[in-house]
Amino acid sequence: MTIEYSDASKIFHLQTKHTSYVFHVLENGELGQIYYGTKIHAKDNYSNLTTRELKDATVAWKIDKPDFQPDILKFEYSALGSGDFRFPAFQLTFNNGSRISEFKYASYEIKSGKRRLDGLPATFGFADDGSQTLIITLRDETVGVDLQLSYSVFPDQDVIVRSSKFINHGTERVVIDHAFSSELDLPDSNYDLIEFPGAWARERHFTRSKLKPGYQGAGSLRTASSHQANPFMMLARPDTGENSGEVFGFNLVYSGNFLDQVEVDQFDGSRVLIGINPNEFSWNLTPGETFQTPEAVQTFSNQGINALSQQLADFYQQHLVNQRYAHSTRPILVNNWEATYFNFNENKLMEIVKTAKSVGIEMFVLDDGWFGERNDDTTSLGDWFVDKSKFPNGIGHFANQVHELGMKLGVWFEPEMISKQSQLYGEHPDWMIQTPGRHQTPGRNQFVLDMSRPEVVDYLVDSISKIIDETQLDYIKWDMNRYITEMYGQKLAANQQLEMGHRYILGVYDLYERLTKAHPEVLFESCASGGGRFDLGMMYYAPQAWTSDDTDAVERMKIQHGTSYGYSQSMMGAHVSAVPNDQTGRYTELNTRARVAYFGDFGYELDLTKMTDSELSEVRKQVEFYKKYREVFQFGKFYRLESPFNGNVTSWQVVSPDRDLAIVGRFQLLNIPNSPYLRIKFKGLDPDKQYRVNGSEEIFYGDELMNAGYFVPEILTNSKKQGLRTADFSSQLFIIKAV
Ligand code: GLA
């Protein structure tokens, strides 16, 4: 049984293969948390774990229940105002202005599987995968509002997915001031908080700090999950490392403003809240309406952080990503952005396409600048029809030529945006988000369309579909290059203005839903000035994302390493670009650039026609190599062996499901002369299988390679002799094959 319920003690016990999640109905009808962590036996009674100690200077629920002190209890979905003074999971305001709610347990229901949500990206389960969903209904009789807490249990990946839903059965409007997706009240605070802050071109860097009393966490008010913060976070015991120890992981299936908050309270409890950011949000729940929060993903491992990343990667592949693409390898592409920027025409592009074809690349992605009159970033967003000065015979003609060569075609769109210099703005100036009578703040010279308006979404479905049909398109890169300012919904009432952020993102999801349904053959990649919307909401529709605008191999070590904690390799677009690198001015060797990019969805982002013959033949070999091993690079089990956040060396390993093949990439920053003796310990091999490494004659058992290690030869010391520009930033690749 995945979900057990004891009627006598009103205890719910959710079990996955290795974890238990236990809670019960409290005397006042609320739900109280008992335990989350390594699997324990199901029992009818956990009175020891629910022991209450009477504390002074703390309010109690009733005179005759002095030990029922809400500020000390652990809740499933807490409310403010009746004795729990910590940050609450939700807050409602009723018609008379009052803010006290009393949701009491009413009923529960257990269903097999896990259904998707309407209008929101969501996880899903299948009849035969053992997943189960528990829906608990709590009721506030005074106002006639139901609160449903949903828990879906995915036993194989040790994941529990949670969300909440408010249903107004009453006769009055209720305002939801905020509503998180999940809450976890942990009994102690001896944890490190691991988060992934960043900036444009420096996304998702690993940070780890000890929890401290009060509020901490990550959040965004940028109208997107953002470059600066990511909804994925972990709580790890201080002694937990990659390969051992207890760790919790949390993520949110949402792309707008979010808050992941941990509050350490006066008794060293830790309250974790995951969901839509309470700031800049409220929702009018009129009679008969429901409000569904996005889903929060929570998981636990006692086997360390790497194991947690692996169970999440498996979970996303089985239960989140579009199943048409989840298991199929992604094409090797060349993108013309860093090759040409806006300066191209059909002839120039066809030269790139032909060269790409000659080295075995499978897809050409036409980036920004093909539409309207877009020769720089000041015009034409919204005008999704081809620029005839660049493609005199139309985009369909260009697409035919690409397809005739046996290549796939991708096209860039930035659907959510509008330039003031555009036909669209001329026709619909009111479609642009703006606050009446206020200054309008440009971002990259552009403004944002009001995606909460159905006519805007309809226009985008039509205009993008036309291009898809005309080009028989294989791939779309969906960009989003600025955050929203002067947020205001012209079609919304004054008291609905704080709904706008969520309504905007629902409009984005609607557009994704309609386009992906109507054009299932198109693979979507999401992008937001690189990694500004790298989140599970996007991944549901677009199974891969442009990880960062920073294509420098050295910066990418940190970006891809940081990203790998909460996301899988097949979600990360990773391309080889030219040197000196456009973002950092750095020189790295072509082989290092490729080896870093192999650990993702591989491609090129440079002008192939400017490469020398010897460079092109190196590219041909890289493409051949990646094709041979792409399955394991994109979908193999990912191991972080050495971290760029710790020092000079980064190394990553991927292992095939049958453990017959593993590849290790080892990258160093600065070269070390006369370097010390070194062995690297591989991971995830079968201890009893015999392997060869890079075709060497010696045979190794898996246990030797994992425990004694493998000798690492000194890296290039004589760059002149090797014909290298620099011996810094060099790399090694170990290919480990079962014999
Ligand atoms: C953003 C993207 C880039 C490129 C440009 C085009 O910056 O992240 O990859 O598509 O827009 O304008």
pLDDT at 155: 97
Q: Considering only CA atoms, which residue is closest to atom 6 of ligand 1?
A: 368
Tokens for 420?
Answer: 């003031």
Report how far residue 223's alpha carbon sits from residue 233's, in angstroms, rounded to the nearest whole number: 19
pLDDT in tens, 2-30: 999 999 999 999 999 999 999 999 999 99
- Give the other-Cβ count within 10 Å of 557's Cβ: 26
Residues ≥6 apart with Cβ < 8 Å to 469: none
406 C-alpha vs ligand 1 centroid, how far in Å?
26
Q: Would you say the CB of residue 68 lies under 6 angstroms from ligand 1?
A: no
pLDDT of residue 108: 98
**CA-proximal residue: ligand 1, atom 4 (nearest):** 337
What is the per-residue pLDDT for 715? 76
Sheet (strand 649-655) strand order: 637-642, 649-655, 661-668, 731-738, 690-693, 700-701
CB of 546 within 6 A of ligand 1: the answer is yes
3-state DSSP call for residue 500? helix
Ligand 1 atom 2 nearest Cα: 529
The CA 518 to ligand 1 mean position distance, Å, reads: 25
Q: Which two tokens stand for residue 479?
A: 């960009």
In this prediction, residue 120 carries a pLDDT of 98
Ligand 1 pocket test target in 549, 575, 577 with most atoms within 8 Å of CB:
549
Say yes or no: CB of residue 529 within 6 Å of ligand 1: yes
Kindly tell me if the per-residue pLDDT of 88 is higher than 80: yes
pLDDT for residue 363: 98
pLDDT band at 722 (very low <50, low <70, confident <90, very high): confident
Chain mean pLDDT for the chain: 97
Dihedral over alpha carbons 507, 508, 511, 517 (to 10 degrees)? -120
- 348-369 pLDDT, tens digit each: 999 999 999 999 999 999 999 9
Pocket test for ligand 1, best of 227, 333, 529, 577 (most atoms within 8 A of CB): 529
What is the distance between the alpha carbons of residues 127 and 114, in angstroms, rounded to a whole number? 8
User: Per residue in 679-706, pLDDT tens?
Assistant: 999 999 999 999 999 978 999 999 999 9
Judge if the beta carbon of residue 367 lies within 6 A of ligand 1: yes
pLDDT band of 716, cuts 50, 70, 90: low
Count helices and strands in the chain by DSSP H and E runs? 14, 38
Residue 674 pLDDT: 87
Give mean pLDDT, residues 217-225. 98
pLDDT score, position 560: 98
Instruction: Please state, in angstroms and as integers, the Cα–Cα distance from residue 724 to each residue in 134, 594, 673, following that order.
Output: 60, 15, 16
Is residue 409 pLDDT above 80, yes or no? yes
Active-site residue list:
479, 549
Closest ligand 1 atom to residue 412 Cα is 10
Read off the tokens for 609: 């026609």
Predicted TM-score (pTM) of the model is 0.98
What is the model's pLDDT at position 695?
78
Write out pLDDT tens, residues 457-514. Answer: 999 999 999 999 999 999 999 999 999 999 999 999 999 999 999 999 999 999 999 9
Give yes or no for residue 1 having a pLDDT over 80.
no
Cα–Cα distance list, 705 to 636, 688, 714 (Å): 18, 11, 18
**pLDDT(265) > 90:** yes
Report residue 455 as tokens: 């006519």
In ligand 1, which atom is closest to the CA atom of 527? 8
242 lines ligand 1 (CB under 6 A): no
pLDDT of residue 719: 67
Determine the average pLDDT of the residues in 326-336. 97
Longest alpha-carbon distance in the chain: 86
Averaged pLDDT, 197-207: 98
User: What pLDDT shows up at residue 718?
Assistant: 63
**Confidence at residue 293, expressed as pLDDT on a 0 to 100 scale:** 98
User: What is the mean predicted confidence (pLDDT) over 438-447?
Assistant: 98
- At a CB cut-off of 8 Å and minimum separation 6, what does 684 contact? 637, 639, 653, 655, 659, 662
pLDDT digits (tens, 9 = 90+) for 553-601: 999 999 999 999 999 999 999 999 999 999 999 999 999 999 999 999 9
**Distance (Å) from CA 368 to ligand 1 centroid:** 7
Shortest-distance Cα residue to atom 11 of ligand 1: 529
Our answer on whether the CB atom of 710 is closer than 6 Å to any ligand 1 atom is no
User: pLDDT tens digits for 601-636?
Assistant: 999 999 999 999 999 999 999 999 999 999 999 999
**In this predicted structure, what is the pLDDT of residue 7?**
93
The reply to whether ligand 1 has any atom less than 6 angstroms from the CB of 481 is yes
Q: What percent of the chain has pLDDT over 90?
A: 96
State the pLDDT at residue 269: 98
- Whether 414 lines ligand 1, by a CB cut-off of 6 Å, is no
Indicate whether residue 527 lines ligand 1 (CB < 6 A): yes
When pLDDT is averaged across residues 264-275 and rounded to a whole number, the result is: 98
8 Å CB contact between 731 and 596: yes
Report pLDDT for 128.
87
Q: Which atom of ligand 1 is nearest to the CA of 530?
A: 8
